[in-house]
Structure 1
C-alpha cells in the first residue's frame, strides 16, 4: 500500500526554523555555498542546537505515541549533504523525522502542494510569501526570538492574531482606510455575520481535529491574541462559534503591546501579521510573521 498523508496534520519546516544554523547560514549568505556545505559536512556528527520552532515540532510529534497523526517534513533550500546533518541532529534530539526535500538553493515552496501541508515555517521571507500566495498557512520564523519555555511539557500551546491570520483582513482594511471609529462601527453592525477565514484557518481546523481525536498524554491549548477591543470583540467570538471551534483563551487588548501577555501564556509559537507586534513578541516568545493582508502589501 502506498503511504499517504491525507489523514495527518502535516507541517513543513525549514532546517533553520527547526535548528540553530545561524553561524552556518552567515557563510551561505556571503555567497560561499561550497564553504557552507563543507562546514556542514565537518559538523556532521555534531548535533545542531535547537531552533525557534523546535519546541512546537517536538510536542506535535508527541501526538504520534498512540497513532501516526502528525507528519513533519523538512522543506529546505539546503543541499542534500547538509540534509544529512539535519536528520542526524533530529535523531540526537529524540525527534523522529522521516521525510525531507532539499532543493540546494532553489525555492522549495512548490512542494507544499503534494505534501498538502497545513503549515510551513521558514526563515526565508520570500518562500513564506510565495507559500501564502499559493494558499498555505505560512510564517517567517524570527530566528532572533527567545526559545519556548519548558513549563508545559504535555501541552502544545499556540497563539494566533485574529485579522489577516485566523480571519480575513476585511475589517483591517476598514481600519486602515477610515480609522478606529469606522472599524468599530463596521464590526458592530456586522457582529452576527461571521468573518471570512484567513490564511491560518486551515491550521486551526487541523489542530481542532487533532485535539478531537484524543490523546491521553498530550493536548493542545490555543489563544486568540488580538488588538481588537469591545465592541469589535463580538464578531471574532461569533466567527469561531460559527466554525464550531473554541479557543482556550482570548485576549482583546485594544492596541496594547502583546509581548507581556504572551509571556504569561507561554506559547510554543505565536503568529501575527504585523511586524511591530511580532518583533515585540519575539522578545518574550517564539514568534513568526504572517506576511498577509493589507498591512503587508507593498
Structure 2
C-alpha cells in the first residue's frame, strides 16, 4: 500500500484545459472517426503510438505558457481534456513527451462531453475543436473557444513573448452593446454607448482569463516569458470610450487597443502576430485564421440559434 500523501492543488495557477485535437494535428485521424467509427479511430491511433503527432493550432501557445514554469515554481498547468478514449490518450502523452511539453494530467471521456471536469480543474481557459463542447463550457461560465485546426501556425515568432488578442463585445465584454446594434442599428448603438460611456460594460466570458493573465504579465523583467495583450475591436470613436473605461474600472490593462470601425481585423492581426486571437464572429475568425491561431468564442447574440450575419463589433 502506498503511503498517504497530501493532495496536490492547482489553486493559484493559470489552468488551461485543451483537447488533444487542439494541441496536436489529428485531422487525418479525425476524418477516419467521422467516416467510420470510434473503434477504427482507436485502432489507427494505437497503430501510430510510436509516431509523434505534429503540432496543432494551440501548440505554440501551450509551449510558451509552460515556459513560465521553473524547477522552483509551477505557475501554469496544462491539462488534456478530451473526448478521446484512454488508449488514444497514450499517443497524446507520448507526443507531448517527444515535444518536450511537461504535461502531467489528462482526462479522457471516450465520446462524452468533457466540460463538467472544468469545475474540478478550476480551468481559466478551455480550447477544443468541437463546438458543442465549447458552447457547453461557455454556458457553464468558463472562457472557451472553438479552435480553427487549419489556422496558420504561429511558428517560432517572438520566442520570448506570448501575444494574445481579444475581441471586445461578447468576448471580453458582455454582448449588451451587440444586442442594441442588432435591434436598432449603428445609430442606436452609438447613442447607447455615448450615453453610457462612464458605465462599465458587464463582463464577458473572457474577462476572467484576462484577469488570470495579469500576475504573469506583472512578473519582473527577468521572467522566462512575457505576455502582451491587445484589444482588437470593430468599435470606433466615440464608442471606444466605454471600452477603455470598462478596462480601467476592472483595473486591467491591455498593451494595445485597436478600434477599427469595421476594417478587416486580419490586416492588423498580421502586424500584431498573435499566438492566439479570440472573436465571437465567424466572419472575422475565418479571415484571422489565415493569419494565425484563432478561436471562435461561441457566445453572445451572434451565436444564438437563428442568428446570422456579421455586425460591426
Query: TM-score normalized by structure 2?
Result: 0.94
Helix, strand or coil at the partner of 1:109: coil
Helix, strand or coil at the partner of 1:179: helix
- Equivalent residue, structure 2, for 1:166: 172
- Equivalent residue, structure 2, for 1:282: 289
The correspondence for 1:117, drawn from 83, 101, 123, is 123
The correspondence for 1:11, drawn from 16, 20, 30, is 16
Aligned counterparts, 1:73-92, within 5 A: 73-92=79-98
Q: How far apart, CA to CA, are the structure 2 residues paired with 1:48 and 1:252?
A: 39
Helix, strand or coil at the partner of 1:264: helix
Q: How far apart, CA to CA, are the structure 1 residues paired with 2:295 and 2:286?
A: 9
Please tell me the root mean square deviation across aligned C-alpha atoms, in Å.
Answer: 0.9
The correspondence for 1:50, drawn from 49, 55, 80, is 55
Q: How far apart, CA to CA, are the structure 2 residues paired with 1:142 and 1:84?
A: 24
Bigger Cα displacement from structure 2, 64-73 vs 92-101: 64-73
The answer to whether residue 210 in structure 2 is matched with residue 204 in structure 1 is: yes
Helix, strand or coil at the partner of 2:243: helix
- Equivalent residue, structure 2, for 1:195: 201
User: Contact 1:121–1:140 at 8 Å: present in 2 too?
Assistant: yes
User: Contact 2:217–2:228 at 8 Å: present in 1 too?
Assistant: no
The answer to whether residue 275 in structure 2 is matched with residue 268 in structure 1 is: yes
The correspondence for 1:226, drawn from 233, 245, 249, is 233
Q: How far apart, CA to CA, are the structure 2 residues paired with 1:209 and 1:241?
A: 17
Bigger Cα displacement from structure 2, 206-215 vs 29-38: 206-215
Specify every segment of 5 or more residues in structure 1 that has no aligned partner in the other structure, as ranges: none
User: Contact 1:149–1:266 at 8 Å: present in 2 too?
Assistant: no
The correspondence for 2:109, drawn from 100, 103, 109, is 103
Helix, strand or coil at the partner of 1:63: coil
Helix, strand or coil at the partner of 2:67: helix
Aligned pair count? 298
The correspondence for 1:2, drawn from 1, 7, 31, is 7
- Equivalent residue, structure 1, for 2:310: none
Q: How far apart, CA to CA, are the structure 2 residues paired with 1:9 and 1:30?
A: 37
What is the CA-CA distance between 1:213 and the residue it aligns to?
A: 4.1
- Equivalent residue, structure 1, for 2:40: 35
Deviations 1:229-284 (A, max 9, x none): 00000110111111111101100000111111101101000000001010110111
Q: How far apart, CA to CA, are the structure 1 residues paired with 2:79 and 2:188?
A: 44
Deviations 1:2-40 (A, max 9, x none): 100111000000000000000001111123211111111
Runs of 4+ in 1 over 4 A off after TM superposition: none
Q: How far apart, CA to CA, are the structure 2 residues paired with 1:74 and 1:217?
A: 24
- Equivalent residue, structure 1, for 2:308: none
What is the CA-CA distance between 1:169 and the residue it aligns to?
A: 0.6
- Equivalent residue, structure 2, for 1:256: 263
Bigger Cα displacement from structure 2, 60-69 vs 288-297: 60-69
Helix, strand or coil at the partner of 2:116: helix
User: Contact 1:121–1:141 at 8 Å: present in 2 too?
Assistant: yes
What is the CA-CA distance between 1:212 and the residue it aligns to?
A: 2.2
Query: TM-score normalized by structure 1?
Result: 0.98
Helix, strand or coil at the partner of 1:97: coil
- Equivalent residue, structure 1, for 2:67: 62
The answer to whether residue 161 in structure 2 is matched with residue 155 in structure 1 is: yes
Q: How far apart, CA to CA, are the structure 1 residues paired with 2:115 and 2:157?
A: 34
